[in-house]
């Protein structure tokens, strides 16, 4: 199999015509479906596989916490508030129950943090641990934020500093000593991402129509918005907020902190596009929010860097 994750989903799903009750179908962070005329439900799933998304050296708590956070992030990126989750667990028959319990402790801790409840699940035997979470969130009709909602003239914003998760990954991979400056903070940011749920719901209510969560890196998410909205996203490298953990660890490794911010995955920060007037209101209420560029009417993602305007390359997928 040699097609990217989105290519595979698209090919398997075939022509996913939005029919009765489907407000947003396959191809965004989550689906939005109508349940009653007054309430839309945001519906998503996200999985983690042993040796692919995590190693057995990780604590169960961290594995569970992060899996839950990634689903909460998908719901929030649509403007939804996470409410309920069900969990599928596949595990070898001889797996250590204490480790599995630790996973569920992490799952429940993250769920509680964001007001979400685990209401059911299924378990099965299998050769490796696979965890899949499906989650429901609520969103008021018309308040959804879609990848396709960017308009030329909008400002491009992120919810906060970037690159800390990628920095933490370098610690976890043993590329840098765990006692180095910022190493433990970076590792924490990698395993316990903070999802800006309140900001996301507020954005949807204020009239923001375009957001994406940064799961595969800023450059990749920006490209998804550009393609879906048929616009250009012009980012200014001087405006990129870089997390102190990313600065410290990239410097220690002789790498570029800006690359951590542009290409680092699993940040679960929010990338969004809003009219200029609205951005001022948002920045006033949420000081961590940073304007990083603007939406143009050509198509693609561009980086302004030392007076040059260059096209940004796309980022990795799970099926690279």
Residue 26, φ and ψ in degrees, nearest 5:
-50, 135
**Cα–Cα distance measured from residue 306 to residue 276, given in angstroms and rounded to the nearest whole number:** 24
- Of the candidates 57, 93, 174, 254, which one interacts with a second copy according to CB under 8 A? 93
* Site membership for a second copy, residue 3 (CB under 8 A): yes
Task: Provide the b/e sequence for 225-261 (b: ≥16 CB within 10 Å).
Answer: bbebbebbbbbbbeebbbbbbbbbbbebeebebbebb
Which range in 8-16, 170-178, 186-194, 246-254 contacts a second copy by CB under 8 A?
8-16
Residues 6+ apart with CB under 8 A from 133: 45, 46, 47, 67, 68, 71, 85, 86, 87, 88, 107
Q: What Å distances lie between residue 79 and 11, 82, 146, CA to CA?
A: 27, 10, 9
Closest approach, Cβ 32 to a second copy, in A, equals 8
- Of the candidates 127, 174, 254, 287, which one interacts with a second copy according to CB under 8 A? 127
* Site membership for a second copy, residue 266 (CB under 8 A): no
Which range in 130-138, 176-184, 294-302, 305-313 contacts a second copy by CB under 8 A?
130-138
Closest approach, Cβ 8 to a second copy, in A, equals 5
Q: Strand, helix or coil at 121? A: strand
**Cα–Cα distance measured from residue 275 to residue 83, given in angstroms and rounded to the nearest whole number:** 29
* Site membership for a second copy, residue 209 (CB under 8 A): no
Of 15 and 308, which has the nearer Cβ to a second copy?
A: 15
Restricting to residues 102-121, name those near a second copy by CB under 8 A. Answer: 103-104, 108, 117-121
Of 109 and 180, which has the nearer Cβ to a second copy?
A: 109
* Site membership for a second copy, residue 90 (CB under 8 A): yes
**69 CB-side CA count, 13 A:** 27
**Cα–Cα distance measured from residue 83 to residue 295, given in angstroms and rounded to the nearest whole number:** 32
Closest approach, Cβ 113 to a second copy, in A, equals 15
The token pair that represents 210 in the structure block: 């375009």
Positions that interact with a second copy (CB under 8 A): 1, 3, 5, 8-9, 11-14, 16, 19-22, 25-26, 30-31, 33, 35-36, 38-39, 41, 43-49, 51-53, 83-84, 86-91, 93-95, 97, 100-101, 103-104, 108, 117-128, 130, 132, 134, 136, 138, 318-319
């Amino acid at each position: 199999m040699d097609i990217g994750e989105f290519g595979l989903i698209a090919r398997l799903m075939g022509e996913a015509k939005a029919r009765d009750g489907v407000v947003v179908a396959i191809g965004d962070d989550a689906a939005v479906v109508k349940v009653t005329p007054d309430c839309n439900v945001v519906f998503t799933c996200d999985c983690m596989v042993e040796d692919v998304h995590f190693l057995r050296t990780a604590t169960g708590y961290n594995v569970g916490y992060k899996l839950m956070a990634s689903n909460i992030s998908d719901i929030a990126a649509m403007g939804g508030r996470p409410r309920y989750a069900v969990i599928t667990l596949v595990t070898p028959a001889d797996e250590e129950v204490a480790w599995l319990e630790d996973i569920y402790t992490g799952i429940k801790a993250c769920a509680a943090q964001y007001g979400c409840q685990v209401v059911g699940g299924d378990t099965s035997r299998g050769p490796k641990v696979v965890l899949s979470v499906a989650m429901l969130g609520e969103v008021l009709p018309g308040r959804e934020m879609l990848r396709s909602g960017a308009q030329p003239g909008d400002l491009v914003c992120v919810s906060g500093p970037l690159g800390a998760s990628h920095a933490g990954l370098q610690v976890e991979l043993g590329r840098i000593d765990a006692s180095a400056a910022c190493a433990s903070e970076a590792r924490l940011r990698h395993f316990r991402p903070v999802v800006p749920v309140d900001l996301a719901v507020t954005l949807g209510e204020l009239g923001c129509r375009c957001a994406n969560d940064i799961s595969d890196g800023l450059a990749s998410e920006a490209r998804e918005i550009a393609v879906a909205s048929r616009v250009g996203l012009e980012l200014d490298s001087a405006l990129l907020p870089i997390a102190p953990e990313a600065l410290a660890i990239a410097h220690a490794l002789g790498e570029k902190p800006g690359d951590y911010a542009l290409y680092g995955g699993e940040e679960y920060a929010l990338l969004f596009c809003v009219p200029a007037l609205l951005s001022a209101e948002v920045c006033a209420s949420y000081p961590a929010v940073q304007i990083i560029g603007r939406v143009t009417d050509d198509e693609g993602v561009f980086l302004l860097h030392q007076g040059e305007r260059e096209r940004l390359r796309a980022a990795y997928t799970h099926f690279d």
